[in-house]
Structure 1
């Protein structure tokens, strides 16, 4: 009886964590879409780049953790994607790129895979 409840709680915990992850990616996507048509030095752009960068730094750190349960090859691939996104965000921040659409598309794909 207790084991069944514990299993339910653990499953709810994993489901809740996935939902929080999806929600954070959704927030990032919405912010990037709002910033896409703005100047790279606008408040919306700065906020979107900062939020998305922080999100991906956290994701990369989690993927690099030994406690992460994903297969090593998948973790490595996602870390590579995250590093690419961070580089693209830095280019946007510096005003040398405006490729919000590429970041949005990749982020959607990752979000949909959660």
Structure 2
């Protein structure tokens, strides 16, 4: 199966929350790797920039009037995005460590996983749809 075909199937099979979880897992994995290898310079900056871009995208999306999340939740996500931006700058200047960014991402991932579990329990899929 080609990579493009796999990606098409993945997009059809994943819910938006599953896609968000997968992206957070990838970004957080890059942050953890940077932390574990004590990365500096370009390797560290790449992981930090990827995380910052993820949060910037989420914040921008939450600021859109078309976003269907509750207004209070959107405001909280925007606030977290602003904090991530400021804190990332501190990490880049060696004035803070990366741990807090990883912790925030993991907390978001836990929330997304919980939402997916609740949704799956509320709307069980027939076995043929799960294959």
Q: Deviations over 1:64-97 (max 9, x none)?
A: 1111111111111111111111111111112222
Q: Is the 8 A contact 1:31 1:48 kept in 2?
A: yes
Tell me what 1:49 maps to. 48
- Matching residue within 89, 102, 105 for 1:104: 102
How many Å separate the matches in 1 of 2:12 and 2:87? 33
Task: Give yes or no for contact 1:62–1:68 (8 Å, CA) kept in 2.
Answer: yes
Matched ranges for 1:65-104 at <5 A: 65-98=64-97, 100-104=98-102
Shift >4 Å, 4+ stretches: 12-15
Structure 1 portions without partners, runs of 5+: 1-11
78-87 or 54-63, which moves further after superposition? 78-87
CA drift at 1:36:
1.2
Q: Which structure 2 residue ranges, 5 or more long, are not aligned?
A: 1-10, 113-131
Question: How many residue pairs align between the two structures?
Answer: 101
TM-score w.r.t. structure 1 length? 0.79
- What is the CA distance between 1:39 and its match in structure 2? 4.3
Q: CA deviation at 1:47?
A: 1.1
RMSD: 1.9
- Quote the Cα distance in structure 2 between the aligned partners of 1:92 and 1:81: 16
